[in-house]
Structure 1
């Protein structure tokens, strides 16, 4: 199924943003040049989670597994453009499925392992899959049984395949697939068009039901090229991928850069700090992607890092929540690690602040490049990502420093609209063709934006807007706080007031009075001070690690 309009494809080819390479083209190049080199490594604790030993495959061995999966898809009667649901942890088989779909001309829809009956009932009718690939069980949950039940109710034509012992009745065991030397090529014989849909990922659903985000080969290859420029990983060096392979963070931020670099992809899932640090040491990882809360936690626990060997790490990407300036500065000055600030979404919103763009770590933590102006950012990514700030009420462009507005974005990484059974929903774009992100930014100057918060997250106290992200960053800098989020609570006089929800380090305590005194020392404006404090064991998060803000007020 072609996705982007022909005029856009022609324009982006002419500009050199898209190259016309498919994901399979990139993979075949890696196999040809690095067939015997290490390619992909399982989580070292796979046996504990799945009951099977960790795998380590070369590019040639991975290619054999991809061929076998292509043959299996054909044997099951799948046709070009059919959808395949994948519900797997970060294991080597997941990457093989992705590459097999890319080679066969199938559309892969990866879903989070946290998804259960409710989410699957929303997704399956939208994409009508012909196959559902999973594991028999993972961390004690019977995934194959869940897939069979979901498909029986919502996708009766889908075959369920699974890895793992004791496959459920009705599911096809994939353990015996092994590897194949036969190269079957695309289903139907016709070459893959790089404009064909390759994946349908799902929005995190913090505000509503998940939405399907289709992306084609051109999207993914370009995304990988841009993130590889930021990561600066060389051939044969190791990436550590702790984010589930279900969205742009993992596929665009890890899998595609690894494939283009011909590096080593080290899988990790679910997140376990001890295992994570051991993998860095064993595999000599140079680049990884880590949530801000983990980076904060490690800097506040030097006794953990003293026992770990992280000397190979050069760069770490982080995002999904604002970065604390003290954290970015601490990693750079104490450990020589450059933290890259990434703002992105499945839809293709992508702003990346590297050490080259902002050498000062505190600037890098707070600001994102104002891409789209070739005079300011003449690089390939700087011109291929077009941005504007807009007053959402008047739709007028914001051009005065200090003013805030909704970020609108367009360009080579931006998707073409949400998936619908009867076509693509483009209502999320404005009249100029820019995607409405729903995120508020402040115009700093000609070069930079500053993230303010989600437009629906802004707290309005007495008619004055308060950015939760700003307050959260300061609250998280308190020594007792492991992670924090801010939400509003109703007030008859002011409309809303600020509530801080915090998870504390073990053995620590914190009162509202102590927090207020700390924030006053930071010279936070009085009207922004939290007036209520809730302590929780952990912040409510969705499958992508983002804080589910609607649940903050439900915290005890």
Structure 2
């Protein structure tokens, strides 16, 4: 009841669209050879037309709508259109392939899938055709063949062709408690978890964020993080929409495009993972103009944060959040305390966090323990697995993050490790258990354990410790070729192979992954 009362006080971020000057720039899309620029009036018209197109395809309020689109005007328009009819957005990373995409489509029961004709030399329709026999619910695939937002017949695969029935759309407008978002995140169960958020939860999260950082409609929001991730979607696209600000979309990562976003189009704010910060700050000519860089998604080396602050001439601050909780802690760009960038921040006003023992008892400041958080912006449930939700929320309403942390006397957070068995590759959570289960199917793998390997740019890379059934000329390519044949996305492939005669195990037979992590960390350090 308390959470409901709090959420009811926050305006929905969609309401902002009704008040913004239609002539104000809304989107600068840098994914084309020539930037595509839309103002708020054009964005609203395209979203309404696409909403009508979805209705004409038989999509109803409450349906999950799946789409595989890069950071682009098409992504923003599609998401707004889905929300305008009371449906739930289910964006999928463009890097995912048959194995992951078919799982998401079947799990979400999406009746429609929207894909580009081609992106980064990969054609999506043939993949859908390959998956077709295993797709239980998909009824139509919309293929985007033109990038021109002014091509009325063909834009967004023809979805934005017809004039909308605005009165009918008004009747479908979402409420605080309407499901807004379904994002899949890797866990330790071997099955990706479908995290569901409502419009009210996301609105609370974004308003708390923008108030804390004092962002305004005059800020220009740069979005290099994938829009199919919470960082890009909530703290890029939705931040911009909630403020009525301009968002600058970058689909393919390179420093030259980043420079265009910052110095050419005036980006002032970005929230992104460590590799983005490392690359632009270590460039021979670091781009200038950013006001705030919130570094999240993976642990940021404190020296990098310090050096980047000087190189970029902006405030670099730390932060912690998750798909389930949204952002909980963040540093302040308005304080000169080194802990603003030398830690993972302090709790955002209106939210709670604590460090506890296994029983949930809060520990004294400075002691390491289990990191738990509480927020009105916590997720609603895990799709089809509410029991997982109940396991993840303690009897006081705190989300058990699975991370280890300490807090100092002033409330600054420092993440120290993980309880969960995952690899965090530059903010991308790798589904370790699922990968291991697949690789156990390789004819020459007797035993396998996947752990994180320290990396100065990404935080961690994916290392596979393999025990072979018999000696052979087994190589890393044998692993990657096997995963490719299984339709596993390249971003999940191991990047380093270590052979081991016997995996270290506990008395109960569980592999001691901390031993393996220490082994590869020492090896990396010795080569440095």
- Answering whether residue 195 of structure 2 is matched by residue 218 of structure 1, we say no
Shift of 1:22: 3.3
Change (3 A) 1:535 1:287: farther
From 174, 197, 211, give the equivalent of 2:179: 197
Aligned equivalent of 2:400: 436
Q: Take 1:397 and 1:209, find their aligned partners in 2: how far apart are those partners?
A: 30
From 416, 426, 430, give the equivalent of 2:380: 416
Aligned equivalent of 2:491: none
Q: Take 2:102 and 2:110, find their aligned partners in 1: how far apart are those partners?
A: 12
Change (3 A) 1:361 1:457: farther
Shift of 1:181: 6.2
User: 5 Å matches for 1:5-84?
Assistant: 7-13=1-7, 18-19=8-9, 21-30=11-20, 34-43=21-30, 45-47=31-33, 54-84=35-65
Change (3 A) 1:174 1:367: closer
Q: Take 2:387 and 2:365, find their aligned partners in 1: how far apart are those partners?
A: 40
From 295, 299, 308, give the equivalent of 1:318: 295
TM-score in terms of structure 2 length: 0.76
Shift of 1:358: 5.1
Shift of 1:411: 1.5
Q: Take 1:260 and 1:186, find their aligned partners in 2: how far apart are those partners?
A: 24
Aligned Cα RMSD in Å? 3.4
How many aligned residue pairs are there? 449
Change (3 A) 1:82 1:42: same
Q: Take 1:104 and 1:284, find their aligned partners in 2: how far apart are those partners?
A: 33
Change (3 A) 1:90 1:420: same
- CA deviation map 1:78-126 (0-9, x unaligned): 2111110011000101101111111111111011111111112221222
Aligned equivalent of 1:140: 121
Q: Secondary structure at the match of 2:324?
A: coil
Change (3 A) 1:151 1:29: farther
Deviates further, 252-261 or 346-355: 346-355
Aligned equivalent of 2:318: 341
Shift of 1:534: 8.0
Q: Take 1:434 and 1:86, find their aligned partners in 2: how far apart are those partners?
A: 32
Contact 2:317/2:331 (CA < 8 Å) preserved in 1? yes
Aligned equivalent of 1:496: 515
Q: Take 1:424 and 1:173, find their aligned partners in 2: how far apart are those partners?
A: 40
Shift of 1:73: 1.1
- CA deviation map 1:311-355 (0-9, x unaligned): x21111111111222222223345431112121110015233333
Shift of 1:187: 5.8
- Answering whether residue 351 of structure 2 is matched by residue 385 of structure 1, we say yes
Contact 1:349/1:437 (CA < 8 Å) preserved in 2? no
Shift of 1:131: 1.3
Q: Take 2:39 and 2:362, find their aligned partners in 1: how far apart are those partners?
A: 51
- CA deviation map 1:418-465 (0-9, x unaligned): 111889843321222211110111132252232111124699xxxxxx
Q: Secondary structure at the match of 1:420?
A: coil
Shift of 1:71: 1.1
Consecutive unaligned residues in structure 1, runs of 5 or more: 1-6, 48-52, 167-171, 372-380, 460-474, 502-529, 537-556
Q: Secondary structure at the match of 1:320?
A: coil
Change (3 A) 1:29 1:149: farther
Change (3 A) 1:134 1:401: same
Q: Secondary structure at the match of 1:304?
A: coil
Q: Take 1:11 and 1:154, find their aligned partners in 2: how far apart are those partners?
A: 40
Contact 1:497/1:531 (CA < 8 Å) preserved in 2? no
Shift of 1:288: 1.6
Q: Take 2:173 and 2:49, find their aligned partners in 1: how far apart are those partners?
A: 19
TM-score in terms of structure 1 length: 0.72
Q: Take 1:418 and 1:492, find their aligned partners in 2: how far apart are those partners?
A: 32
Aligned equivalent of 1:240: 222
Shift of 1:239: 1.1
Contact 2:339/2:345 (CA < 8 Å) preserved in 1? no
Q: Take 1:62 and 1:204, find their aligned partners in 2: how far apart are those partners?
A: 33
Change (3 A) 1:73 1:334: closer
Change (3 A) 1:76 1:28: same
Contact 1:42/1:92 (CA < 8 Å) preserved in 2? yes
